[in-house]
Structure 1
Amino acid sequence: MKILFALHFPGYFRFFDTTIRKLAERGHHVMLAFDSPEKQAEGAAALAGATGAIETVEGPPARGDAWDDVAQAVRGGIDYARYLDPYFADAPYLRDRMRKVLPPVFAGLGRFTTAGPAMASTLVRWFSTLEDAIPPSEAVDGYLRGLAPDLLVVSPLVMSRLRQVDLVKSARNLGIPSALCVASWDHLTTKGLMRVQPDCVVVWNEAQKREAVDLHGAQLDRITITGAQPFDRWFDREPSLSRRDFCQQVGLPADRPFLLFTGSSRSISAPTAEQQFVRQWVESLRGSSSSTVQQLSALIRPHPYNAGHWAEVDFSGVSNVSIYPRGDLNPLTPKARADYFDSLYHAVGVVGINTSAMIEAAVIGRPVHTVLAHEFVDTQMGTRHFQHLLPENGGFLKVASNLQEHLAHLEETLEHPERNRAALARFVSTFVRPNGLDRACMPQLVELLEQQVGRAPVVEPVSSLRR
């Protein structure tokens, strides 16, 4: 069968590369289309050497009709309206980000920062009714007719400037089944709304299932949990280098344990703030009253898309601190992924602000720490996905309110590493592989997508939020 993957940009291959490879290996013709093909174009490296019928096709066209401006305005408006709900009252960063892209016709909404549940719900329903009135695009209909896919897969769907809503509408109009595959742990809570509901909504776990229903109005009978397939690659894996060889490679002494600081994306951790925080963090380690903590080495691994500010940073005045790697940061190729895994595997613990590397560390069984720094208040506790990592929500994160408390947590981790294991295992079994720790997630996703072919699309209601 022919499957069209409509993705935001090539960087999404880090979420779906193994799924695409497996579908092609099973004899399916996989077509890849992007709204922004030039963004993170290096993501294509994740599919290097793939076999089978995989081709990149031209991305979906703009509507180019009288409804185009209306659609953009309605979709931008509903994305801001969702953040007026009291659920997001403590998320000013997310709300402010949506305010910046509010269409001029609805700029007045930006004066409001929150609303009562009834008013917020009414606004969303009103925008959803407008969305229902927007017909399928003739241009997008023609695009899909030309490609003739048996199945449309979209991700992330929850961004107003993408053309994926129109793709889903046209797919339904042409009798092509559609599926949304949620790509990341934050996509249902930090971006916009679905606006339309595909025939199948694929989520990682029960938490995302609740988010899809409660925040996006998804119907329960269309949701399937397959687990977090991007993390399959970190299970049952062995390091490519011994600890001694790895420490030699990164420039740290092999006779001391090291902590790994994993950087966050630019939207979470502003470059200057992150750099200043890490310097304070390293200084606190060296000033610890615990000799065990004081002698820890520190390996700083910048985020691949927030690394420029680390290029010239020099820690030569501080012993046993290394920034690595300086290049080839993105773990897309087998070699880069092996190197990234080794960084996590050989670390005695991981420290970060708010990043999916924390989940990857949990999969590998490494304790993970954070500090609720004032400069990151909006992008830590002010984001809903960060809440999944907290112990009170079934998470594993050792959260400190300041660096002094953080040092005490580190000392406890070093002295009693077994105390972290139960929380790590519980989180991985519920958030990453909820269908069984011994069941890889990617094969479940592939099987589910294959089952969608031939199913008649659901015609009504068009909008996932109209109730």
Structure 2
Amino acid sequence: MSDSNREKKIVFFVKSVRFLRYFKSVLTAFLEMDYRVTAVFDASKIEPVSDDSLKNLQSRFPFFAWKNGPLRTDIFRRLVIASRNILNYQFLLRRGVVAWRLKRHFDYLPIFLQKFILIVTPFAKVLIKSGVAEFVCRSVEKIVPPDEGITSFLRSLKSDALIVSYRSFPCLSPDIDYVKSGMALGIPTTIIIPSWDQPTTKSLIQIIPDKVFVWNEEHASVLSREHAVPRNKIVISGAPQFDVFFERKTPFRSINDFLSIYRITAGPPFVLYIASSGERDSALVKELSLTLSSNSDGALQSITILVRPYPGRENCFADLKLQNVKVLPAPLEGRRSLDDDQDFFDAIYHSFATIALSSTALLDTIAIGRPSIMYFDKRHKEIQSDAHLETLYRSGAFYTAYNLTELMPVLKRINAGDDFLREKRHDYICKFIRPQGSTKSAAAVVVEEIGKLLSSRVN
């Protein structure tokens, strides 16, 4: 037990408890090192907790606490939110992201600017992409002071270090303001990247903190080149949300218990289809089901499709009554809990492979040690055109198929044990998910780096 650590308090700002789960390994690592940790949730996203997971963590670690944090409420709120949203839109315009992502950000622009863009689209976009627009918006950020309410709140917590799970989309989110207030107070302030596509498709880092934790060298390069984050402020930690998968070597439930709980009458082999939306996935599962059941190859006929719905889109599979398809319960991302997603882990573990159009779960799959198949469908080209998905494709660590005819031999080969991409997956894991070494967790890197920041401030 470290008395010196117990005197230090870490404040972790995150959207809500369901997103705090992605950083559970970091949270636990600090607590195990006897730091005091307070999780602060976005008050605009207040959600009742689904279970006792927060209380259970507090029972285990009495120095853990959580509370809802204030939002920006001063006279500058509308101005600074507008300028931040414009910068985010500019960032995505310059990156040339797919239309549907740009549309999501367009909806948060000031109404007058939306109308201007719709009337003179080409000229308006050129103007927004210009250095003039960037200069004006960044000047607004420099002139506008930190929000006093958030600053007072952080001061009252007497925090020694601040970690912000950075989203900044939409800019109604106060995460930028927490970074700004933390820096103004002289608190060692860090940003931790929550997802694989955050640096490329979500938002711009508009205030540079003391350190930014990223997954890998690819993220670091994007932040340095496109977010103007100095390399000496970037720490490559790996992906915290996958730490639990590397630590766990066995399923939560045996195959027999898994089948019993979900009333699956068929036995293995299973292939897990991981949905990325709703309707399009339902249609594809029906096509896959028919192709397998009508196949003349007995090995393919015997495959049962397990379906993991996209959070909040479970109803899209409600009418899916097919003999070789079993829809699993709603995933834990849709539940407000800090507990591990045991259902998801076991579904991947007990399947011989997973299939997805576009999903972070492609990475979950290889972290758990199973092969994953990227299914490219020209009907869904728009959602499969993102740069971060292209990165996975170029890695060579994932099987690919462009139609059901191509998919059948891939499934047969993997199910027969001919997993020829095993080594490439291992190499990609070491590059993209755990670049500090397969045995070193992202949480360990974060704790070490925060410790260095605290020591440097003392010295």
TM-score when normalising by structure 2: 0.87
1:215 aligns with 2:226: yes
Match of residue 4 from structure 2: none
**Which of 415-424 and 363-372 deviates more?**
415-424
CA distance in 1 between counterparts of 2:380 and 2:267 reads 34
CA deviation vs aligned residue, 1:331-363 (integer Å, no higher than 9, x gap): 887986333222111111101122222111101
TM-score when normalising by structure 1: 0.86
What one-letter code is carried by the residue in structure 2 that aligns with 1:387?
E
Answer whether contact 1:175 1:456 (CA < 8 A) is retained: no
Cα distance, 1:123 vs structure 2? 3.9
Q: What secondary structure sits across from 1:180 in the alignment?
A: strand
Cα distance, 1:167 vs structure 2? 2.0
1:389 aligns with 2:392: yes
What one-letter code is carried by the residue in structure 2 that aligns with 1:83?
L
Match of residue 10 from structure 2: 3
CA distance in 2 between counterparts of 1:334 and 1:192 reads 25
| Change in CA separation of 1:313 and 1:40 when aligned onto 2, cut-off 3 Å | farther
Match of residue 200 from structure 2: 189
Answer whether contact 1:259 1:299 (CA < 8 A) is retained: yes
| Change in CA separation of 1:23 and 1:301 when aligned onto 2, cut-off 3 Å | same
| Change in CA separation of 1:387 and 1:42 when aligned onto 2, cut-off 3 Å | farther
Cα distance, 1:206 vs structure 2? 0.8
1:262 aligns with 2:270: no
Answer whether contact 2:18 2:337 (CA < 8 A) is retained: no
What one-letter code is carried by the residue in structure 2 that aligns with 1:445?
V
CA distance in 2 between counterparts of 1:71 and 1:407 reads 53
What one-letter code is carried by the residue in structure 2 that aligns with 1:217?
A
Match of residue 252 from structure 2: 240
CA deviation vs aligned residue, 1:199-242 (integer Å, no higher than 9, x gap): 11001111111121122111100000111121111124212333
Match of residue 22 from structure 1: 29
Q: Which of 75, 90, 99 is the aligned partner of 1:92?
A: 99
1:140 aligns with 2:141: no
1:131 aligns with 2:141: yes
Aligned residues, how many? 443
Q: What secondary structure sits across from 1:224 in the alignment?
A: strand
Identity of matched residues, %: 24
| Residue segments in structure 2 that go unaligned for 5+ positions in a row | 1-7
Match of residue 184 from structure 2: 173
Match of residue 39 from structure 2: 32
1:402 aligns with 2:410: no
Match of residue 465 from structure 1: none
Match of residue 460 from structure 1: none
Cα distance, 1:122 vs structure 2? 5.4
Answer whether contact 1:252 1:320 (CA < 8 A) is retained: no
CA distance in 2 between counterparts of 1:431 and 1:273 reads 29
1:313 aligns with 2:319: yes
CA distance in 1 between counterparts of 2:367 and 2:49 reads 26
Cα distance, 1:78 vs structure 2? 0.9
CA distance in 1 between counterparts of 2:25 and 2:398 reads 28
Match of residue 303 from structure 1: 310
| Change in CA separation of 1:71 and 1:40 when aligned onto 2, cut-off 3 Å | same
- Which one has a larger percent helix, Structure 1 or Structure 2? 2
CA distance in 2 between counterparts of 1:395 and 1:444 reads 27
CA deviation vs aligned residue, 1:294-338 (integer Å, no higher than 9, x gap): 32111112133332333x3342xx323211226867688798633
**Which of 290-299 and 425-434 deviates more?**
290-299
| Residue segments in structure 1 that go unaligned for 5+ positions in a row | 458-467
**Which of 152-161 and 180-189 deviates more?**
152-161
| Change in CA separation of 1:121 and 1:41 when aligned onto 2, cut-off 3 Å | farther
How do residues 39-438 of structure 1 correspond to structure 2 at under 5 angstroms?
A: 41-42=48-49, 46-50=53-57, 51-65=61-75, 67-85=76-94, 87-89=95-97, 91-107=98-114, 108-109=116-117, 111-112=121-122, 119-120=129-130, 123-159=133-169, 160-235=171-246, 236-253=248-265, 255-264=267-276, 269=277, 271-310=278-317, 312-315=318-321, 318-325=322-329, 337-381=341-385, 383-390=386-393, 392=394, 394-415=395-416, 417-438=418-439
Answer whether contact 1:243 1:254 (CA < 8 A) is retained: no
CA distance in 2 between counterparts of 1:431 and 1:297 reads 31
**Which of 41-50 and 300-309 deviates more?**
41-50
Q: What secondary structure sits across from 1:152 in the alignment?
A: strand
Cα distance, 1:431 vs structure 2? 0.9
CA deviation vs aligned residue, 1:120-166 (integer Å, no higher than 9, x gap): 55543443233223222233322222222111111124321112222
Cα distance, 1:255 vs structure 2? 4.7
| Change in CA separation of 1:26 and 1:246 when aligned onto 2, cut-off 3 Å | same
**Which of 70-79 and 244-253 deviates more?**
244-253
Q: What secondary structure sits across from 2:38 in the alignment?
A: strand
Answer whether contact 2:44 2:71 (CA < 8 A) is retained: no
What one-letter code is carried by the residue in structure 1 that aligns with 2:433?
V
CA distance in 1 between counterparts of 2:190 and 2:259 reads 44
CA distance in 1 between counterparts of 2:126 and 2:91 reads 12
Q: What secondary structure sits across from 2:295 in the alignment?
A: coil
CA distance in 1 between counterparts of 2:258 and 2:21 reads 24
What one-letter code is carried by the residue in structure 1 that aligns with 2:25?
T
